[in-house]
Structure 1
Amino acid sequence: METAPHVLLTNDDGIDAPGIRALYDALSDVASVTVVAPDRNQSAVGRSLSYGRTSTDSDELAMDLADAGFTSPVPHTDHELGYAVDGTPCDCTIVGINAIEPEPDLVVSGCNSGANLGTYVFGRSGTVSAAMEAAFLETPSIAVSMDTLGLKDDLDPVDFARPAAVAAALVEGIPGTGLFDRVDYLNVNVPQPGHDPDGFELTRPTDVYEMDGAMVDGQLQLTNRLWQQMANRDIPDPPDTDRHALLEGDISISPMRVPYDVVEDEAVERILERIL
């Protein structure tokens, strides 16, 4: 009888977010799960680390790290799901892979409340960055996000049932397929609750990026045209891209190599078709 895989589960919305609870419950049916996640919301921190942030002065920081043998503490508290870390998603991935026994076979990051779409998001999203950090540490990983634009703020774990089921299917089905011999990490985006996808689309991250800056009445402001388009259900992206697939109501799966290269391989699609 095969041993269930050991999954390190993290996120950027914080350990008490409903998305990570949904993933924990679903993944626990198919794997041994250890949660190491931020103790509060760490959205959009990208691949930042808390390493060495003991001083705001650069000279003092260098001295602090040298005195500590280039080791920096990562404060944490015990939590009913695992470990709540005073740090970033990448902090959680690093300590989860290297410091927690047993070493994980796979890292799952999410489920993020909000889609993570496009090439621009890979350096910004804490969810995707946690998966990317695992890939750099030679551990296969999956980032899972759900479109929540326009939904109420107080989502419950049940609202994340679809992405949780997709993540569980991937974790259960991937071992032995050779998928992660071809791919470093997957970026998965699932439509909103109430949409019943027919299946998934293998996608590349869209290159469309539209952020505006303006001075209005003496105040600087930013406008995210991408989210504006999402809210209007506009699709300015090519059909093979992640945002196009999601707005068409399909699950988007982008197979990636670190740092940002999409994998175009028919074998990958055949493997995922067998799993999902």
Structure 2
Amino acid sequence: MKVFSATALLSVALSCGLTNSLKIIINNDDGWATANIREFYKALRADGHDAYIVAPVEQQSGQGGRTVFSAEATLSRPGQFDTVPAGAPSFGSDPMDSHIWYYNGTPAAVTFFALDYLVKRQNIFNGSEPDLIVTGPNEGSNAGPFVFTLSGTVGAAYAAVSRGIPAIAFSATDILNRKYTAVNTTNDPATVLGKLATKVINQLEEKGNGENSRLLPYGYGLNVNFPYISTKPTALSDGVSCVNPPFVYTRLTGGAATNIAAYNEETGIFNWASNFTSPGVNACINGDCDLPGETDVIKECKSAISVFTIDYDAPSCGGAERIGELLVGLVENEGKAAGNGTGNATVVAVPGPAETGAAIRVGVNGAMAGLMSAVAIGMSML
């Protein structure tokens, strides 16, 4: 029988990622007591990460990047699902778990509360900054560039990137709003989503270890969208079960939606509707224009991973290529992630599906002109 030394066993454990311990804050816009965020938390903790939930005390969808802090020191009404009584402090922790916190503010405000109060004043990471801030998985997809104007999920992640903290926004197609106590099976969609999101984080931790100890370059984040998760065929899943969707390296534009003001002749009022043909949200300004659009990818049983940057005026920087390399081994089109065939110097039309219109490719020299002439207005998902 072969005998292994303690040093050898430790080496094996490290190489297998068994001692992962990233410092992670989990935020969202659906509220601190939803099934999705709690199952995500459980998956991260199970993999050894030092994870904290810090999320709004109530539903805050559609807030975008608005930073609104509580104007009162106590809650004027009960928190989500009556988990916090009226009159309780405007922020606090779960009495059963000190790693779970709420704050009465918009998602972006919660990000700042986590960084400036819990990290700096409460010292939850013993003097260190978090390695990563993640948001979601949101109840509803956040695909396409228009999400940056309205999605609280993306807005909270964007706020973290603005502070120099790597961030990932996760979103699910399923829009069911449930309390975390409703989860009762291992195949529950919330449990599946939590494990899928954790898989992305573990991939970045494993591949990016040693890259100046950062999971993502400064100014960059990821937008991850999952398809409709179902253990049995449904209309939303196109008649097939979907519990292990492969990942695809994507771009924000391509088949993306923006909003229109839809007028109801009978009621005389307006509501939003989606427009999938706008060149404003489907112009490929930066990166590899041959990448599939995330909106179309999640229509199948596939998960989309797109890179975004906070620097709108730097369309030819190489951070996206670096992140693509980190995703090799996770996404099915890893040749694209590795940088094969990248470039944005040619100006040509990029055909899209008939129902979604065509994407437009803008070369490096025409990037700013294209940006100024094709400003997007509107959004479809929160």
TM-score range, shorter chain: 0.7 to 0.9
Larger Rg: 2
Q: Measure, in 1, the Cα distance between the counterparts of 2:291 and 2:300.
A: 9
Q: Secondary structure at the match of 1:216?
A: coil
Match of 2:324 in 1: 269
1:23/1:52 CA distance change after superposition, 3 Å: closer
State the identity %.
Answer: 24
Name 1:192's counterpart in structure 2.
228
User: Is residue 108 of structure 1 aligned with residue 134 of structure 2?
Assistant: yes
1:189 deviates by 0.5
Extract unaligned runs of 5+ from structure 2.
1-13, 73-88, 119-123, 231-241, 277-289, 332-382
Q: Does 108-117 or 43-52 show the bigger shift?
A: 43-52
Give 1:137 deviation, angstroms: 0.5
Aligned pairs for 1:1-276 (under 5 A) are 4-30=21-47, 31-51=49-69, 53=71, 75-79=90-94, 80=97, 82-100=100-118, 101-102=124-125, 103-148=129-174, 154=178, 156-157=182-183, 158-175=188-205, 177=208, 178=211, 180-181=216-217, 184-194=220-230, 195-206=242-253, 207-217=256-266, 219-225=268-274, 240-258=292-310, 265-275=320-330
* Residue identity opposite 2:109 in structure 1: D
After the TM superposition, which parts of structure 1 deviate over 6 Å for at least 4 consecutive aligned residues?
Answer: 260-264
Count residues in correspondence: 246
Higher mean alpha-carbon deviation, 84-93 vs 238-247, is at 238-247
- Distance verdict in 2 for CA 1:259–1:219, change over 3 Å: farther
The root-mean-square deviation of aligned C-alpha atoms, in Å, is 2.9
Cα distance in 2 for residues equivalent to 1:78 and 1:4: 22
User: What letter matches 1:188 in structure 2?
Assistant: V
Contact 1:145 1:163 in 2 (8 A): no
* Structure 2 residue identity aligned to 1:50: V
Alpha-carbon separation, structure 1, partners of 2:204 and 2:299: 26
Please, what TM-score do these two structures have when normalized by structure 1? 0.78
TM-score normalised by the chain length of structure 2: 0.58
Q: Give me the whole-angstrom Cα distance separating, in 2, the residues matched to 1:153 and 1:13.
A: 8
CA gap 1:92/1:259 in 2 versus in 1, 3 angstroms: farther
Specify the code of the residue in structure 2 equivalent to 1:89. Answer: P
Q: d(CA) in 1 for partners of 2:266 and 2:53?
A: 46
Q: 1:210 to 1:75 in 2, by over 3 A?
A: closer
Describe the SS at the equivalent of 1:201.
strand
Q: Which moved more, 1:81-90 or 1:7-16?
A: 81-90
Distance apart, 1:153 and its partner CA: 5.1
Please state which structure has a larger fraction of its residues in helix: 1
Displacement of 1:204 after TM fit?
1.4
User: Aligned partners of 2:66, 2:320: CA distance in 1, in Å?
Assistant: 31
Is contact 1:144–1:163 with CA below 8 Å preserved after alignment? Answer: no
Alignment check: 8 A CA contact 2:166 2:221 kept:
yes
Moved more, 109-118 or 183-192: 183-192
Segment of structure 1 superposing worse, 266-275 or 30-39: 266-275
Given residue 174 of structure 1, which amino acid in structure 2 is its aligned partner? L
Whole-angstrom CA distance in 1 between matches of 2:311 and 2:34: 27
In the TM superposition, residue 267 of structure 1 has moved relative to its aligned partner by 4.3
Residues 201, 173 of structure 1: alpha-carbon distance in 2 compared, 3 angstrom cutoff: closer
- Secondary structure of the residue aligned to 1:164 is helix
Shift of 1:93: 0.6
Tell me: higher relative CO, structure 1 or 2? Use CA pairs within 8 A at least 6 residues apart.
1
Relative distance call for 1:123 and 1:239 in structure 2 (3 A) is same
What are the superposed Cα offsets for residues 123-180 of structure 1, whole Å, 9 maximum, x if unpaired?
A: 210011111000000000111111015xx55585421233212221222231351451
Shift of 1:222: 1.2
What are structure 1's unaligned runs of at least 5 residues?
55-73, 228-237
SS at match of 1:225: strand
Quote how far apart the aligned CAs of 1:121 are: 1.0
